[in-house]
Amino acid sequence: MNADYYDYWQSSVYARYMERIGWRAIGQARSYGYAFRIGPVAIVKYILTDAEPDISSIRAAGFRHGMIYWAPWQRADISASWHTLPQSWYVHDWRQGVSFVRTDYLDHWNVRARRNLRAFRASGAALREGTWREYQEGLSRSLLPKDLRWLFSRKIDAMRGEDMAFFLVELNGLVVGGLATLEYDSISAHISAFLTKEGKQVNAGTACIDAWYQYAIRSGIRYLHFGGVWNKTDPKEWQGFSEFKRNFIDKELELEHACWRLF
């Protein structure tokens, strides 16, 4: 993958979000770790960075003992002090989708995606950019399970709309679909999305992706980070949404290693 592409976990904007929800950011962009204390013990995560966690920096931040999880970005030369972590135990996306932004993006979508976009344009629904408050209101009426609605709503609350864009589909005066994205450097990342029953009927999801591409072109964004896509270790119920993302994705990145150690 190109050297200027990296995951949003390693961006300064995401570090600010993590600190708002109680994690301490350690380090700097592209080598961040995040620490959380449970009594005297620390849980430390270094996700999608090739910089090996520095225990002296963790201790200097006030965390004396605990466990470190590390998922390198591309690095494979892991020292013997680290123990391999099975994919089924690791709480992050093992396979991720990326699209390259270009003006002829529709030529690179598959046939189904282009057909769904034509159906949306003929539906009478309208697409616009909105606010995080409007996104939240539509999310509350979505088809997502209650626990996911709560999780996404809490995340958007903590992000407070900073460095974010919200794409909304309206039908008969109601928001029936939405997409929330986060910008950092030349990258825009898919944070969450939703549909109502009416939104599903008018292909609001595809319309939001189209608006995201157009926004990226106007804003000089080079990559769209679609987040996790399904692999065999994931729950079956995630598969459908991943197949939707694959209508648009150019490249899939698979993480090959994750490990842990005590300190």
* Residues 237, 226, 29, 12, Cα dihedral to 10°: -90
Q: Are 94 and 255 in contact (CB under 8 A)?
A: yes
Q: State the CB neighbour count (10 A cutoff) for residue 122.
A: 10
The mean pLDDT values, 10 residues at a time, for the chain of 263 residues are 91 95 95 96 94 96 95 88 78 78 96 96 96 93 92 90 93 96 96 96 97 98 88 58 85 86 96
Domains of the chain: 8-93+257-262 (no CATH), 102-221 (3.40.630.30)
* pLDDT for res 96: 86
Per-residue pLDDT reduced to its tens digit, 163-203: 999 999 999 999 999 999 999 999 999 999 999 999 999 99
pTM confidence score = 0.89
129: its two tokens? 């950019």
CA angle 66-69-71, nearest 5°?
165
> Using CA atoms, how far apart are residues 128 and 60, in angstroms rounded to an integer?
47
φ/ψ of 243, rounded to 5, equals: -65, -35
